[in-house]
Structure 1
Amino acid sequence: MSSPVNIPFQTVIKIDRSIDHPVYLQIARQLINAIQRGVLQAGSQLPGSRSLALILQVHRKTIIAAFDELDAQGWTEIRPNKGTFVRKELPQDPDVKPYSAGLLTSYPEKTGYQFRKSMLLDALTLSPNTGLEFNDGLPDIRLLPLERLSKVYGGILRSKTNYRHFGYSHAEGNVFYREMLADYLNNTRGLHIKKENILTTRGIHMSIYMASSMLIDAGDVVVVGDLSYYLANMCFQQCGAKLQAVPVDKDGISTEAVRELCKRQKIRMLYLTPHHHYPTTVTLSAERRVELLNLAAQYGFIILEDDYDYDFHYKGNPVLPLASADTNGMVVYIGSFCKSLAPGFRSGYLVAPENLILEMAKFRRLVDRQGDMLMEQAIAELLEEKEIQRHLKKAVKVYQDRRDLFTSLLIKELGGELTFDAPPGGLSVWTNWNPDLNLMRISKNCTKMNLHLPQELLYQNEHSTAMRLGFGNLNEQEITLAVRVLSKAVNMEE
C-alpha cells in the first residue's frame, strides 16, 4: 500500500487517562490489537507521527514512543523516507470480519468453538452475602481467635527461617503440618497414622474430587445414601460413575441394602458421612460401622469416609470414624479445618495407606502443585500450641446453646408444620415439613424478607418434604429473627 490506511483511529484507539498506564503503551497495545484482528492489514502504512498525534490529540513524542514499541515487538517495520508499515510476514485470517465500529471495544460474548457443558451444578445458587442466611451448617467466623491467628501468620511471614515455604516443596504438603496433623487425628479420632499417610488438600471438595479422579473409572458403581451429599454425587457422576442409592434410617446407611447390592453387582466405592449423615444428620451406629468394614473387605469396595464435622458433638464422646478400625486398607478418610475454623481456611486432608498417598501426590501436582505452605505452617503451629483445640472446646459450647435455642424456637413458631430430632452434633437440623407446603415458594417468601434460604437446602419430592437448616453461622439474635421470618414465610404460603 502506497498511502496510509484510512480508518477512524479515534474509534479504534481509546485513551483512558484515569488509569495508571502510560498513554504510549495504551496506543501501542490497541494498534497491536487492531493488527491481530485484521483491522490493520499486513503491509498497511500507518499515518505519520504528526498526523496520528493530531487525530488522537496527544503529543507527537507519544506517537513516536508507541511506534518504537510496535517496532521492538516486531509488529511493524520502518522504511526510510517512506514511513511505518505493518509487517507483511504477519499471518492473515482470510475469514476475518471487515472493520466495524465497536470491533475492538468489547470482548467476545461467546467462544468460537464447541465445548462440553454440564448441567450438574445448574441448581446451585450463590449466597447474596447480605442479610440473614440459612446454610447447610457452616461455622460462625466471628468466633475465631483472629488476633492469635493473625499474629502466628504474620510471624511466619516475617521469619527468615520460613522463606523456604515460598518455594516448591513436598507434593504431599508441609512436613511439619502433616506431623502435627497426624498427632491431632490420632488423639481425637483414634487413628494410628504417620505423616506419610496424609495428603493435604484445599478442603473436603478437593479431597472428594481427587479420590474420585484417581479411584473411579467410567461405569464404576458408587453407592451413596438416599439422600446424600449433592456435591459429592455430582463429582462422582462427573467421573462417569453410576450411582446406586440405598436407604438411610435412624441408624445411618442400611448395611443390609449394601450387602444385597454387593451380591448382585460389582461395587467400586461406598461414600458416606457416618458421624452426621448428610443431609439428615443421623449417626451411623457402631454395629453398622463394623459390618461395613467387613463388607468392604469381603467384596473389595473402597469406603470414602467424609468426616466433615467430626469436631462438633454435644452429648458424650463422638463415635470414632471407620478409619480408626480399618485393618485391611479399605478406607480413604477425608476431613478439613474449613468447618472447624472457617471456610476461608482452605486446609483439608486425605488419609490413606502410604502407597495411595504417594500416587495421589503425583496427581495433585497437576491441579495444585503443593497447596498453601504458609497457611499449613500456621495451622501446624496452632495445633502444636493447642490453640485450635481450645477454640473448638469453647466453640462447641456456643454451638450447643445455639442448637438448643434454634430447636426450641422451631417448636414454638412452627411446631404445627414440622417435626425433627435435635441432632447430637453438627451445625444443622434436618426438618420434615407438612407435605402440603411448597418449599420453593417458602424460599421465595423468605427472600422477600431478606432471609436467604438456598434451593439446595430444600428436599421436596413424592417421598419427602424436608429442609436442612444450618444454625451455626447465626448468633442468638439472628436465630430468633431468622425463625420468625421463616414462620412468616410459611404463613404466607398458606
Structure 2
Amino acid sequence: MSIPFDRTNFVYFWLTKIIQFLLKLMGQMLRPWKTILNIELGSHKSVFQQIADGIIGEIKKGRLKPGMSLPGSRILAADIGVNRKTVVLAYEELMAEGWLETAYKKGTFVSEKLPKQKERRRQRNEESISSVKNFSFTAFGSGMPASVNSAVPLIVFNDGLPDVKLAPLDELARAYKRIFQQKARWRMLGYANERGEERLRTAISTMLTMDRGLSFGIGQICITRGSQMALYLTAQILIKPGDVVAMETPGYRPAFEAFKHAGASIEAVEIDEQGIRIAELEQLCRKGQLKAVYVTPHHQFPTTVSMKADRRLQLLALSNQYGFAIVEDDYDHDYHFGLRSLLPLASYDQAENVIYISSLSKLIAPAVRVGYVAGPASFIDSLAALRMTIDRQGDPVMENAVAELMEEGIVNKHAKRALGIYRDRRSLMSKYLDQYLKEKADYQLPEGGLAFWLRFKQPVDTIAFSELLLEHGVQVISTERFSFNGKPLNALRLGYAALDEAELERGIQIIASLLP
C-alpha cells in the first residue's frame, strides 16, 4: 500500500532542518569560544576555574549580554578540547554564583538579573570615554625625588640617612633565628601588645635612662613602625581641628603634613643659630591659645643647628606658663660629634609638657621600622588605643630581635663604630665643600647629624637645580618644601653618611660645576 506524498510535510521537514543548521552555524560564528576562552593546561589554576573566569570576564566586558544563550556543554567541550564534565562543573559553579541560569530543555543563558554592562565607546584616538562618576579623595604627594633610570651612576645626597652597609645585619639575623628556635616561638605568631613587646620597651627604657637622662617607665612608652608613625599618632591624639601648632621654619615637611591633616592651624616660627626664636613663640602665646610646638632641638631639621641650653630653658618655661605641649623629635640622637650629646628637652626637671619621639631606624637601618613615643601614661594609653585602629600591633619577632641586640650591647657597639666612620666622612665632606664650593656657598660644620646645610651666596631655585643635577647623575632633595612661610631658602640639605670618598668628591664637583 503506497503512502500518499505530502508536499506540505516535506517542505516543513526540510525547512526545519535548514533553519536548525543555520542557527547552529550562526551560533558558532557568534561564539568563537576557542578565541574567547584561552585555556592553559599547565597553569596553577584548574581548567574548570579558567573556563568560569573566562566567561565572567566576557560578561563584564559586555560581549556576553544578559539572556544570551551559551553553547551546550558537549559543544563547548569539543570547541576548546576539554572533557565535558569539566565544562559542566564550570557551568554549575557559575549558576551557583548567579552569573548563569538554566531553562528546562532550552539550555544555559547569561542571567537576566545581572546589571547591564555599559558598552565601551572609543574616540578615533582609541581613548575610552567613561560617563561613570568616580569617588573623590584627598590627594597626597611625597615630595621626594622620583626614582630615575640613568646610564650615569647616581650619587644620592639623601636627607641624612645612615649607611645601611654598616648595619649589624649578621647579628640581627642570628637573633631572629634564635627567636624562631625557641620552644615557645608560637606565642609570637598571635596578637601581641599594641604598645609593643615589653622586652623591647624595657630595653628602650633602660637606654633612655642610661644614655639620655630620661626616666620613662615601660607604661609610658609605645613602640611604632618608625618615628613617622609615632608623629602621626601624636598629632591625631593631641590636635583638634583649629588648634594652633607652631613649627620651626625651615622645618620637617612630614611633620607639617601630619599636624595639618589632624586639623591644626600651622604657625611658622623662624629659627636662628640658637634654635627656634622664643620671642616669636611668646607673641603667639599672647595672641591666643597655642596648643603645641614641634621642635627638633638636637640637630634641627634641615639646618642641623643645635638648640642651646638657654633657649631650651626658655622654651620649657614658656610651655609651663601657657600650657602648650612640646613635641620633641629626637630623630638622630646617637650621631653627635662633640664630647657628649646634648640631653633631650624631656630630660629637664621643668619638662612637664614634653612628648618625646625617637627611633632606632636611623641607628640600625631604615628598613628596621622601630620608633617610639614616650610621654605621660594617660597620653600613651590613648595613643596605643588609636594605634590599634590603623595597625593592630608591630612586628613581635623583629622587636624581640632588636631587644636582644640592645641587651647584649651590640646596638651600642654598632653606634660607636658608625659614629667614627661618619666623623671621618663629615671631615671629607667639609674638605670638598671648601675645595670646590667656597666661592659659591657657605656652611657651618654640623655638631651632629648626618647632613650639611649648604647656603648659596646667590639665589638658586632648588627645584629647577635638583632637576638639572639629576640629568648629570646627582640626586638631591629640593628644599623649597622645607619653607613653611614662603621665603626662599637658597640652600640644600646634603646627607653624606651613605657616600664613600669618591662619591662625595664627584658629587660636590658636579654641584659646583652646575651652579651659576
Instruction: Give SS of 1:84's match.
Output: strand
- Residues 111/58 of structure 1: CA separation in 2 closer, same or farther (3 Å cut): farther
1:67 aligns with 2:91: yes
1:479 counterpart = 2:504? yes
| Match among 237, 243, 248 for residue 271 of structure 2 | 248
The residue that corresponds to 2:309 in the other structure is 286
Distance in 2, Cα, partners of 1:173 & 1:110: 48
Contact 1:246-1:254 at 8 Å conserved across structures: yes
Cα displacement string for residues 100-148 of structure 1 (whole angstroms, at most 9, x for unaligned residues): 79xxxx9999984231333x63643334486221110000000012111
**8 Å Cα contact 1:293/1:326 also seen in 2:** no
Aligned pair partner of 2:134 in 113, 134, 139? 113
Which secondary structure state, in structure 2, belongs to the residue aligned with residue 160 of structure 1? coil
Residue matched to 1:323: 346
Secondary structure at the counterpart of residue 486 of structure 1: helix
Q: Quickly say closer, same or farther: Cα 1:459–1:177, change in 2 above 3 A.
A: closer
Query: CA shift at 1:81, angstroms?
Result: 4.1
Q: Which moved more, 1:275-284 or 1:317-326?
A: 317-326
Structure 2 gap ranges (5+): 1-22
- Name the structure 1 match of 2:394: 371
The reply on whether 1:420 has 2:443 as its aligned counterpart is: yes
The letter of the residue matching 1:66 is A
Local SS of the residue matching 2:145: coil
C-alpha spacing 1:307/1:200, structure 2 compared with 1 (3 Å): same
Deviations 1:321-379 (A, max 9, x none): 11112556411111111111111011110111111111111111110001111111111
Quote the sequence identity (%): 35
Q: Does 1:171 align with 2:194?
A: yes
- Taking the aligned partners of 1:18 and 1:123, their CA distance within structure 2 comes to 45
Q: Report if aligned partners of 1:275, 1:310 keep a CA contact under 8 Å in 2.
A: yes
Of residues 154, 167, 170, the one that matches 1:147 is 170
Partner of 1:429: 452
Tell me the CA shift for residue 397 of structure 1.
0.4
3-state SS of 1:424 partner: coil
2:146 is equivalent to residue 126 of structure 1: yes
SS state at 1:85 partner: strand
**Count, aligned residues:** 482
Distance, in Å, in 1 between the alignment partners of 2:468 and 2:174 is: 44
- Is the CA contact (8 Å cut-off) linking 2:143 and 2:481 kept in structure 1? no
Show the counterpart of 2:50. Answer: 26
Q: 488, 491, 495: which is aligned to 1:470?
A: 495
8 Å CA contact 1:124–1:456 kept in 2: the answer is no
What RMSD, in angstroms, separates the aligned Cα atoms of the two structures? 2.9
CA distance in 2: counterparts of 1:429 and 1:328, whole angstroms:
30
Alignment-mate amino acid for residue 218 of structure 2: K
Q: Which of 73, 83, 97 is the aligned partner of 1:49?
A: 73
Give yes or no for the alignment of 1:76 onto 2:106: no
Which range moved further: 345-354 or 457-466? 457-466
Which deviates the most, 423-432 or 74-83? 74-83
Q: Within 5 Å, give how 1:21-420 maps onto structure 2.
A: 21-35=45-59, 39-56=63-80, 58-79=82-103, 81-88=105-112, 90-93=113-116, 96-98=117-119, 112-118=133-139, 121=141, 123-128=143-148, 131-325=154-348, 329-420=352-443
Query: How far apart are the structure 2 equivalents of 1:151 and 1:398?
Result: 24
CA distance change for structure 1 residues 194 and 466 in 2, over 3 Å: closer, same or farther?
Answer: same
Output the amino acid matched with 1:174. E
Q: What displacement does 1:258 show?
A: 0.8
Q: How far apart are the structure 2 equivalents of 1:432 and 1:459? A: 14
For 1:196, give the aligned amino acid.
G
Residues 322 and 365 of structure 1: CA distance in aligned 2, closer, same or farther (over 3 Å): same
- The higher radius of gyration belongs to 2
Is the partner of 1:222 in helix, strand or coil?
Answer: strand
Deviation at 1:8, TM superposition (A): 5.0
Write the distance in 2 (CA, Å) between the matches of 1:328 and 1:136: 29
Distance (whole Å) between structure 2 residues aligned to residue 207 and residue 109 of structure 1: 41
SS at match of 2:236: helix
Q: Could you give the per-residue CA deviations for residues 418-472 of structure 1, whole angstroms, max 9, x where no partner exists?
A: 0000101100000101224443343233212222123357769755310000001
Q: Take 1:396 and 1:110, find their aligned partners in 2: how far apart are those partners?
A: 59
Partners of 1:39 and 1:99 within 8 A in 2? no
Amino acid across the alignment from 2:49: L
| Deviation of 1:253 (Å) | 0.5
Give the TM-score of the pair, scaled to structure 2: 0.86
Offset, 1:9: 4.5
CA contact (8 A) 1:38 1:92 kept: no
